[in-house]
Amino acid sequence: MQFKNTRAFAQQLDHQDELSKYKDEFHFPKVNNKKVIYFTGNSLGLQPKRTQNYVSEVMNDWANLAVEGHFYAEKPWWDYQERLAKPLAKVVGAKPEEVTVMNTLTVNLHLLMVSFYQPEGKRYKIICEEKAFPSDQYMLSSQVRFHGFEPDNALVEIKKRDGEHFWRTEDVIEKINEVGDELALVLIGGLNYYNGQVFDMKTITSAGHKVGAKVGWDLAHAAGNIALQLHDWDVDFAAWCSYKYMNAGPGHVSGIFINEKYLGQKNIPRFEGWWGHDKNRRFLMEPEFEPMPNAEAWQLSNIPILSVAPYLASLSMFEEVGMEKLLQKQKLITSYLEFILHTISDEVKGDFEIITPKERGSQLSVLLHGEGREVFDYLMKEGVIVDWREPNVIRLAPVPFYSTFEEMFEFGQILKNAIQNT
C-alpha cells in the first residue's frame, strides 16, 4: 500500500477499518477537554466500558449473597477463573488446560522458577537479555542468590552488537551453545519493553532445549500484542501481565502457561496451596496435596475475583474480534505510524531515529537526539500521551482496539510543531 501523509487518506483507512467501532468501547482521558491520542497501551491499556458491568456483577453478588457467592453467583467465584482459560489460550497459542490466571507477574515468575530453575552440579546458569526489565533483573538475581550463586557468575546476559539497538538471533543461539551444559534456564522478555523487539521465540526455545536447558518467556509486552504459539513452540513456561494490551486494569491479575508435559505431576518441584488442590476434594480439607490436572495446580489461594472480572471483560472483546484481525490492523497502523515518523523527519529534518526493528508488535521506540525531553513535554501538553524512557526514548504504541489512522496523522502534525517549537 502506498501511504499518504494526509488527513483524507487516514480517514479513508479508518473508513475501511472493521475494528473502528471498538474505539467507542473504551474510556479516554481528556486534555484541554479533548480526547487524548493514547500511545501508552504498552504500559496501561484503556478501560473497556463493559468492564463496569463485570465488576458490578461481582459487587452485587457479594452484597446479596455474601459467602454463598462462591457457589451460587451467576458466575460462581470458586471456579471463576476457568472462564478465562479458553479465550486466553487462543491469545497465547496454548491448550486451555495449559493456562490459568493468578497473582501478579513477578510473583508468578518467582513461583515458576521453583519448578523450572533447578540448578544441579555445573548446570546452574541462566541466560537473559542485557538490561532486561528491572523487575526481571531483580527476580533473577534474587533467585540465583537463593540457590547460593552469585549473579555475576550465574546470570549470562545476551548483549547487542556495538552500535546496534537490537539483538540478533544468531548471537542468542551462539551464547546458548557456548554456555552449553552449564545452562539451566533461558528466560527472556519475548518482546523487549525498551526497543519493542520481538525475539524469535520458536528458534531460541529449540536451541535451549538442544543443550538440555528449560526455556521460559516473560510475555508482559507480548500477550495480546503479537502472534504467540506457546504450545507448538514447546515452551516450558511463560507468564504475562493483563494490564497492558489486555486492558484488564492497573496491577491486575497475571496469566501463566505451563506446557502440558508438566501437568498432572505430583513430584514436580512447586510451591503449593489449597486452590491448586483437586477442586472436587478441596473442601474436604485433606492433609495431602492432590494437584489439579491442569495449570491451576500452580494456584495458591482464592482467586481475587475483583481483579479477574475486568480480565474476563477484556477477553470477551478478544473473543469477538479474534487475534487474526487484531494483528492485521496492528501491522497496518504501526506501519502507517512508521511512515508518518519518517515523513515528519524528512520535512523538518528531525533529529530522531526509530530503534525498533522490523520484528515488532505495536510499539515503536523513537530515540530523540538533542533536547528530547522538551519534545516529550510538548506532546503531553498537547494531549498526546506517550511514554518516556531514559536516556532519550519515547515509546509509541498504537493499539488496534482503540487507535485510529487519523490519530497517527494528527500525531505527526503535533510532532512537527513540537520539533519546530522546542
pTM comes to 0.96
Give the pLDDT of residue 199: 98
Asked whether residue 252 falls in the same domain as residue 353, the answer is no
Helix 323-348 vs helix 305-321: crossing angle, to nearest 10: 80
Asked whether residue 317 falls in the same domain as residue 336, the answer is no
Give the pLDDT of residue 48: 98
Asked whether residue 402 falls in the same domain as residue 314, the answer is no
Q: How confident is the model at residue 422 (pLDDT cuts 50, 70, 90)?
A: confident
Mean pLDDT of the region 25-30: 98
How far apart (Å, rounded) are the C-alpha atoms in residues 90 and 78? 23
Give the pLDDT of residue 421: 85
pLDDT > 90 fraction of the chain, expressed in percent and rounded: 95
Which three three-digit cell numbers place residue 180?
552449553
Q: Is pLDDT of 19 > 90?
A: yes
Mean pLDDT of the region 379-403: 96
CATH number for position 315:
3.40.640.10
Asked whether residue 215 falls in the same domain as residue 229, the answer is yes
Give the pLDDT of residue 252: 94
**CA 66, 67, 69: angle at the middle one, nearest 5?**
75
Range of the domain at 403: 7-35+322-421
Q: Is pLDDT of 146 > 90?
A: yes
Last residue of a domain, one of 266, 292, 321: 321
Domains: count for the chain? 2
Q: Is pLDDT of 350 > 80?
A: no
Last residue of a domain, one of 321, 341, 372: 321
Mean pLDDT of the region 84-94: 98
How far apart (Å, rounded) are the C-alpha atoms in residues 10 and 12? 5
Give the pLDDT of residue 369: 85
Asked whether residue 283 falls in the same domain as residue 401, the answer is no
What are the strands of the beta sheet with 393-396, ordered from one edge? 352-354, 364-368, 393-396, 387-389
How far apart (Å, rounded) are the C-alpha atoms in residues 258 and 94? 9
Q: Is pLDDT of 209 > 90?
A: yes
Asked whether residue 221 falls in the same domain as residue 362, the answer is no
pLDDT tens across 105-118, in order?
999 999 999 999 99
Give the pLDDT of residue 261: 97
CATH number for position 360:
3.90.1150.10
Give the pLDDT of residue 117: 98
Q: How confident is the model at residue 294 (pLDDT cuts 50, 70, 90)?
A: very high
Last residue of a domain, one of 293, 321, 349: 321
**Residues in Cβ contact with 398 at an 8 Å cutoff, skipping those fewer than 6 apart:** 39, 41, 330, 333, 334, 337, 362, 407, 408
